[in-house]
Homo-oligomer: A and B are copies of this chain.
């Protein structure tokens, strides 16, 4: 795509759609007494046996200074815990507590259902197409950011 004049519509649509979607998602997360970043941390940790602090920051795009605060609040709520790494004295492993895991197991499917309402009129093919589009866009963004974040699920343990 070379000519900027041809895509202002896509871009407004991109911004507005992202915004509207996040706003919609946030409205549900709020009912769990979580903020979007907090929820993001929960679902990122969900299904793993814990992730290093740094990895968590990379996946959620939350910078380290901010992440400490988010994690503190989740710790205060009893949803996550810090465990010192055995191999690196500087590193912390962040993992869900029992309560956090329970919340994840309950809240995540609920969230899926809530978001899933958006797709009531979508056929499986429509969804597959949308997903492929998003993956492609995601890759384009990652590349452009230059960060080269891998974002594959290989790092998921457990």
A residues within 8 Å of B by Cβ? 1, 4, 6-25, 27, 40, 43, 61, 108-109, 111-113, 115-124, 127, 129-131, 133-135, 137-138, 140-142, 144-145, 151
Contact residue among B7, B27, B131 (Cβ-Cβ distance under 8 Å from A112): B7
Q: Which of B1, B21, B151 contacts A122 (CB 8 A)?
A: B1
CA distance A12 to B43 in the complex (A): 9
Determine if A137 and B151 form an interchain contact, defined as CB atoms under 8 angstroms apart. no
Q: Which residues of the other chain, B, contact A116 by a CB distance below 8 angstroms? A: 1, 4, 7, 11
Task: Give CA–CA (A45, B45) in the complex, Å.
Answer: 40
Contact B113 A137 (CB under 8 A): no
Known contacts A1-B116, A130-B133; is-contact A138 B13 (Cβ 8 Å):
yes
Q: A17-B134, A21-B138 provided; 4 other pairs, C-beta below 8 A?
A: A1-B119, A14-B115, A16-B138, A24-B144
